[in-house]
Amino acid sequence: MKTIRLCILFSGTGSNMLNLIRTLHLREFIDERDCVCRIEIVATLCNNPQAKGIQALQEFHIPCLVLSHKGLEREVYDALLVREIRRYEPALCVLSGFMRILTPIFTQHIRAINIHPSFLPHHKGAHAIRDSFESPQDFGGVSVHWVSDELDSGAIIAQEKLPKVAGESLEDFEARIHELEYKLFPQAILRALALHTRS
């Protein structure tokens, strides 16, 4: 059976990462040739030594490399990141709340996708949920896209709008965004890998 290897990069609680592990890790899917393939998350990498997701990973016995960016120039850090990722030979690298603006040293050498909590191209950047919530638009959303040299601008793999609810708080809106992320992200990864679920 063919194994498709993934690496996940994260910076915080790792909630999306943990959802991906639960929905995809060691599960079997069908490729374009109707062959059975197994997805294996072979490693995770984190740039934040205090990230809560590091401890949460322990129950899954998946390696977690903590590689702090502190004191390093952006290009130097990205070169280290690329070197470590290549050790695992992943078919795809998944950015799951990885709070770094990546340079071409990364983007031109690693095949990667990213999840973003807005309906791109609206509300790029680190404060997308708040910016979306405060905008006059009647929707928010979630997008999964290929990582490119320009921030939050790669080709869209999957995205979905989330209608706003009159009178809801930012916290409630954010919770609904996260629920949509948990649904859309695994679907987008399967689409990026040209896989589908077994019937």
Domain boundaries, the chain: 2-197
pLDDT beneath 50: ranges in the chain: none
Query: Is the Cβ–Cβ distance between 128 and 118 less than 8 Å?
Result: yes
Write out the DSSP string of 29-96.
EE-TTS-EEEEEEEEEEES-TT-HHHHHGGGGT--EEE---TT--HHHHHHHHHHHHHHT--SEEEES
pLDDT of the residue at 199 = 67
Residues 6+ away with beta carbon under 8 Å from 87: none
Q: 99 burial class (0-12, 13-18, 19+ CB within 10 angstroms)?
A: middle
Distance (Å, whole) CA 105 – CA 75: 7
pLDDT at residue number 54: 95
Give yes or no for a contact between 50 and 13, defined as CB atoms under 8 angstroms apart.
Answer: no
Query: How many Cα atoms are found within 13 Å in the side-chain-facing hemisphere of 88?
Result: 26
DSSP state of 103: P
**Annotated active-site residue in 116, 123, 127, 196:** 116
Structure confidence at residue 83 (pLDDT): 97
pLDDT for 153-194, tens place per residue? 999 999 999 999 999 999 999 999 999 999 999 999 999 999
pLDDT for 1 equals 86
Fold designation for 2-197: Rossmann fold (3.40.50)
Neighbours of 57 (CB within 10 A): 21
116 is catalytic: yes
| Dist. CA 69–CA 102, nearest whole Å | 12
Partnered with residue 24 across adjacent β-strands are none
